Structure 1
């Protein structure tokens, strides 16, 4: 995995000249210290079997999935809540401040989530950025997470088959129904390398699950994937 080797080599050199410091509390020693990890608001209650939202009163499915479920994704699982905890700051630093090193401890959290929910998958893939957005940012934070997660899970990463076929508006400012329509047919699968495989699609934050569901549609209908699961660091309310 050449990309990960370059990432690790660059990080080793960076650590030599600039030792890691927690991006949340500034404590020396790591990019996300143990104390801040303990402050993360992890999702520990029973969750909806489909979208991963904490279930109400022990229900198998949440109200949204009972009334208007996501159509293509087999399920979504999320590590923590997004609001008001170190997870939000870590994601912000990774996504917008070019602090790629924090992807390593965040990917460890994702791996722990996979093991917690006993997800059985064959390959991991990132939610892709449109080429214009990738040029603006210079990197895809989900792809960096996937590189580390594949290492922790000891399964392959596929960063090429799934791609964003059209540019969409940012999901951040849209309501639930707008989010769904915004990403319809926004993704495509260019080959059959994921055929008959159980694919784990990784993103940083999940709000309605619409983006992951759109990815699953492309992976199943075009890529012929057997199953598609979504995995995210945080759930936004």
Structure 2
């Protein structure tokens, strides 16, 4: 046992030394203003546009001046609810884009930190975290799943276990960028499967970078509930409106 603890201590120390050396050679700079010190400074964090209440109780769409949700009104959903701390605009959009497409994996830390802060004041029913998976072809091309990176950081910050590998994306669905709400739901219907009973009896919190219509999160929730999940909520960093 002492050998294992010693090895872990050495590995942790080496990891910290490596990170310190990288910080020395390549100082951390804010993705918003370029100021040295952190990947996202406090001042820029405060400029992120918050998604304010009232929002749809199910999909989290802003409901100001509305009685019926334009996104999910009248639809039968598998997802129990979706929440997002920020609007997908300005700096929030830039952060997601850089994390997702520019290989700036370190941005998963401030993104997860802000999501953890949101959960502190807006708790959601969850005893485990799970990232929305990407298809194996996309994984090979990009080299990483940005939502998995965020989930790992959030698991550490929120003290909730992460379930990995249970939810699988079966189809490499076409990009949803130019699709409407109904087209998005049809595009991802049946695209996911959960082949692991690790979620049975669990309250799962799905993690993703951005929510547009909630179609992907809903398709994931359907697969998880088929595998025995009791409840499935979604939490994304930002929400398109």
**Pairwise same-fold verdict (TM > 0.5):** yes
> What is the rounded CA distance, in whole Å, between the counterparts of 1:208 and 1:11 in structure 2?
38
Instruction: Show structure 1 runs of 4+ deviating over 6 A.
Output: none
- Alpha-carbon distance between aligned partners in 2 of 1:148 and 1:140, rounded to the nearest angstrom: 13
Inter-partner Cα distance in structure 1 for 2:65 and 2:176? 30
Q: Structure 1: how far apart are the matches of 2:229 and 2:21?
A: 39
Residue matched to 1:120: 125
1:64-83 equivalences in 2 (<5 Å): 64-69=71-76, 71-83=77-89
Q: Determine the C-alpha separation between the residues in 1 that align with 2:180 and 2:170.
A: 22
Q: Which of 9, 30, 35 is the aligned partner of 1:22? A: 30
1:48 lines up with 2:56 in the alignment: yes
Q: How far apart are the structure 2 equivalents of 1:108 and 1:28?
A: 18
**In structure 1, C-alpha distance between the alignment counterparts of 2:125 and 2:79, rounded to whole Å:** 14
Instruction: Choose which of 83, 101, 104 in structure 2 pairs with 1:99.
Output: 104
Q: Which residue number corresponds to residue 92 of structure 2?
A: 87
In the alignment, the residues of structure 1 paired with residue 150 and residue 200 of structure 2 have an alpha-carbon distance, to the nearest angstrom, of 23
Across the two proteins, how many residue pairs are aligned to each other?
Answer: 228
Report how far residue 28 of structure 1 moved: 0.8
Q: CA deviation at 1:159?
A: 1.6
Distance 2:219 2:91 in 1: 29
Q: Give how far 1:63 is off.
A: 4.0
In the alignment, the residues of structure 1 paired with residue 43 and residue 141 of structure 2 have an alpha-carbon distance, to the nearest angstrom, of 34
> Structure 1 residues 176, 65: closer, same or farther in 2, change over 3 A?
closer
> Which consecutive unaligned segments of at least 5 residues does structure 2 have?
1-7
Check whether the contact 2:61–2:71 (CA below 8 A) recurs between aligned residues. Answer: no
Q: Is the 8 Å Cα contact of residues 56 and 62 (structure 1) preserved in structure 2?
A: no
Whole-Å separation in 1 of the counterparts to 2:137 and 2:129: 23
- The alignment's TM-score, normalised by the length of structure 2, stands at 0.89
What residue number does 2:238 align with? 234
Note the 1:167-182 alignment, pairs <5 A: 167-182=172-187
- Could you tell me the TM-score, scaled by structure 1's length? 0.90
The CA RMSD measured in Å over matched residues stands at 1.8
Unaligned runs of 5+ in 1: none
State the match for 1:146 in structure 2: 151
Alignment of 1:217-232 (within 5 A): 217-221=222-226, 223-232=227-236
SS in 1 for 2:189: coil
Distance 2:21 2:233 in 1: 35
